[in-house]
Amino acid sequence: MEFQYQYDQEKLNKAGQREGELTLTSDENMEYKHIYNAGKLVEATNYLITVEGKKPLIGKYKDGNPFDGYFVYYHEFRSPLIDYYENGELKTHYSYSLLDLIASENPAEVQLSKTTYKNKMPLQGLIHKESISVNGMNFCASEYYEEGKITYTYLWMIIGSVLQAVKIVLLPNGYKIHEQNFHNEEVNNRELRFGTITVEFKDNENGTVLYETADKLVIKYQFSNASLSQKIKPYKGKGFICYFLFNDNSTKLTQHYNFEINEQLYVENFISNRSYISLIFSAINIQLTPRFLANGDNDYYFIKMENDYAKMVSLHLGENGNPVDGFFIEKEEQSDNYKYAQYLESKVVANSDEFTLESIKELIFNTKQ
């Protein structure tokens, strides 16, 4: 994990590389001491943190990599992360549980959480994923492992001093997202404030998404992923299609259909009382439905509602399943040509049967790829 160390004074050799013993002190107390040889860190000692009665923590490097002992890092929220190695193999990881810190009246008394490893993979305990920052919001995911499998994850959102979280519980064929309340304040309308999202996969490309408050249905729909060469499925009732145009020139669409909506609760949850859980639901709607695996390298940051690997456009369908507003795109099976049409109030305002993918991107997004 990358971390920029600071020292009381730099010591450089003739080649401009760090050399010898470098230290950092704070309030006249030693925080850490590092020993360098020709610019490579060979030994690190931390004097602040105690792990299972051990202090100071000493870690020795080999060829610039952790090899034996304790190695202290910090993630973006300045909370320490400690790795313990034996003969170059990661054996144990230590970190603070945000849940424990929130629940404690004296955070200084909170004990480090211990995570064990087997064959270089987490076996039991807690792992914090690297955080991201989007538009002034910081996101961090904390995975909890049992017997080598992820059982649930807390996805944290921090805006200034405000902390919010959801709990993602893995199911046999999907997952359930619960909004969490850590503030113990009186909630006048609790069933509108705290919602639950349930995503279930029928197979790799099809499934359902359900949003509830206090076990009351707010909205439910089915989704189906397909290639752009497949015809739109003729479902009755309103729906919409998301077209994904990836930077590697691959494409995909997701059709949302068979909607069930409680109009009053929908307005109250998604218009009048926007919350963290409703933000997550909105993010799920405009991308390929996220899938989380118990043994997978999961990307929980779909919440950012944007990405740098794809462009997305949508087409809204009316009660009869016909296009109403948005863009229709379909690939011809035996060529690289695409059919394209733009709809406004059920009328075609632009169309072509011989567009390339690049020309569609340029037309819709006004940028050349």
pTM of the predicted structure, to 2 decimals: 0.86
CB distance 351 to 323 below 8 Å: no
Please report the DSSP string for 235-294 in residue order: -SS-EEEEEEEETTS-EEEEEEEEEEE-HHHHHIIIIIS--HHHHHHHHHHTSSPP---T
Q: Would 67 be classed as within a structural domain?
A: yes
pLDDT in tens, 79-118: 899 999 999 999 999 999 988 988 888 888 889 999 999 9
Q: How many Å from the N-terminal Cα to the C-terminal Cα in the chain?
A: 33
Whether residue 194 is predicted with pLDDT greater than 90 in this model: the reply is: no
Q: Would 117 be classed as within a structural domain?
A: yes
Q: Would 311 be classed as within a structural domain?
A: no
Total tally of structural domains belonging to the chain: 1
pLDDT in tens, 280-333: 898 898 888 999 999 878 988 877 655 556 788 999 999 888 999 999 999 988
Three-state SS string across 324-353, please?
A: EEEEEEEECCCCCCEEEEEEECCEEEEEEE
Q: Which uninterrupted H or E stretch holds 99?
A: helix 98-103
Give the CA angle between residues 76, 177, 96 to the nearest 5°: 35
Give the CA angle between residues 299, 150, 176 to the nearest 5°: 70
Whether residue 347 is predicted with pLDDT greater than 90 in this model: the reply is: yes
Q: Would 36 be classed as within a structural domain?
A: yes
CB distance 4 to 34 below 8 Å: no
Residue whose pair of structure tokens reads 């499925």 in the numeric block: 233
Q: Would 70 be classed as within a structural domain?
A: yes
Q: Would 97 be classed as within a structural domain?
A: yes
Domain that holds residue 91: 1-121
Q: Would 131 be classed as within a structural domain?
A: no
Q: Looking at residue 297, what is its pLDDT? A: 86
Q: Would 116 be classed as within a structural domain?
A: yes
